[in-house]
Structure 1
């Protein structure tokens, strides 16, 4: 059981000049965090503060618009690409509506791209609003910066497993599936009509290999810490200049459960809107995710049951591609949309 989320300076992975010893030192800290909690803060990441602040300002301006203006880019208009706006209650976690509204983005792909021509879900052009101006450019610049950071962090994870630093890039993330969300959690009652907490987003794990989250000062993120039958929820409060990083189900599967895809949740108690920008750096759509034959995992064996997972599923029994897994997940998050586009 852990009682805090560690903070790691990853500058040696991103600066392009640090030697192997410095990179390995950072990698060891990342590996320890992945084993213990599956979560860690990153600083020294090289993503410009100005870019982050600009995107946050534009995002707040968008969410302040009247609902009918936001609905002009509703997700139903995005088709199979699964892009655009959804209102509060439009997304489900574990079958319950979340108390958040949001924008879905991904890699900007034109009609000539082979996956777009094939009608592959979650691939295609983004839907950008007319207001506020500049949001399109800010989103695309931010996604490019976070994609670079994602590659650097995966190099560190590879080193932590005693693999070559390009292990993931050559097998899983040469063409990563990049998904980006901008969420607004409005203030509201602490309990729902059924008396249970009105979660901004309920308990869940992320699907891919790596998530990088920028959160504002409102807080509300909690991470599940478990030791046998004992459970506690650990706060992951905002830290200036940092991203919260966590690993997803596919890295859990690759490492046979040694690196943990840890459940987390959000409850906005701040009394004001909470802005959250999660960026998902995932395996390529058609990649088959398999356990890694790594020295650091030589004695590991995958868990055989799923009784401790939030959704009762066992990711270690996964068959098929990452796209198959992801589509099954997002289809439950937006069941109505799934029937329209698939």
Structure 2
């Protein structure tokens, strides 16, 4: 089973079919400037080529409650297991704040700052357009999600580098994304795999596209009609692999409520969890997830 390729301007029926059947799709005609994409790829590679001491000058601990900055290989957990990747965490550029996950970013240079902020702005536009299409695919007004959740979205942008580790190395184990919508730029090496029934499918890089997938919160909002799909990253053997996942999520204070009646799942989730049990704000939900991904930062993020 292949992952569908659809236009950002596709008919809502196409978007709905991709969301129901796969939970993953490639998006074309997104309008994100190719030169901007080349710049962010080049500057990311230059940063990860630096020595560890240089990279640690913007380590996440210095970002405090904003949850921004660099982390070395092994510091991030997926399903309780260390990932074989290093990365940079960014979010909306905001003034210093007492609120968790809000505040300024840590950038290695002014040039990187300009590129990252421009890229996040471009991908935010793609996120809004995709959510309009998803709303229409559900028979809702095009602004349904914007009016209730994403007029001022919570933006999380990551840049990951997977160093080579031989045949047995895994980048990231099986998981689903916990937010609303993920928009992923891959480098040419690939490595992303998507689970379809009991089969793992390679999400090979397709030039000019982003890979989009549903997160657990969109699964929750649609009552299970659009289900988040497990995926993983295969370890690299003899080269680095870079990826740029952009997470387009509800506002921190948005109250998470299902669009309609819950759809009975035909099979249990891979991890036995039930994403439909959660009630509360997206911020509450997200902070609980953060505590599992970076347990060493939990006290700093959640401390009043």
1:141 to 108, 112, 118: 118
Partner of 1:102: 87
Tell me the CA shift for residue 190 of structure 1: 2.7
Give, in whole Å, the separation in 2 of the partners of 1:268 and 1:140.
Answer: 29
Instruction: Show the 5 A alignment for 1:182-197.
Output: 182-191=159-168
Tell me the CA shift for residue 337 of structure 1: 1.2
Instruction: Show the 5 A alignment for 1:1-342.
Output: 3-10=1-8, 12=9, 26-111=11-96, 116=97, 119-130=98-109, 133-191=110-168, 198-226=169-197, 231-269=198-236, 271-293=238-260, 301-303=263-265, 308-342=268-302
Give, in whole Å, the separation in 1 of the partners of 2:11 and 2:34.
Answer: 22
**Residue 224 of structure 1: SS of its match in structure 2?**
strand
C-alpha contact 2:170 2:236 (8 A) present in aligned 1: no
Tell me the CA shift for residue 270 of structure 1: 5.3
Tell me the CA shift for residue 312 of structure 1: 2.5
Give, in whole Å, the separation in 1 of the partners of 2:283 and 2:28.
Answer: 31
Tell me the CA shift for residue 79 of structure 1: 0.3
Tell me the CA shift for residue 264 of structure 1: 0.5
RMSD: 1.5
Tell me the CA shift for residue 303 of structure 1: 4.3
C-alpha contact 1:218 1:268 (8 A) present in aligned 2: no
TM-score (norm 1): 0.85
C-alpha contact 1:186 1:274 (8 A) present in aligned 2: yes
Equivalent pairs counted in the alignment come to: 302
Give, in whole Å, the separation in 2 of the partners of 1:187 and 1:71.
Answer: 20
Larger radius of gyration: 1
Deviation by residue 1:179-212 (Cα, 9 ceiling, x = unmatched): 0000000111232xxxxxx321111111111100
TM-score (norm 2): 0.96
Structure 1's unaligned 5+ residue stretches are 13-24, 192-197
Tell me the CA shift for residue 302 of structure 1: 4.6
**Residue 200 of structure 1: SS of its match in structure 2?**
strand
4+ residue runs over 4 A deviation? none
Tell me the CA shift for residue 58 of structure 1: 0.3
Give, in whole Å, the separation in 2 of the partners of 1:148 and 1:317.
Answer: 31
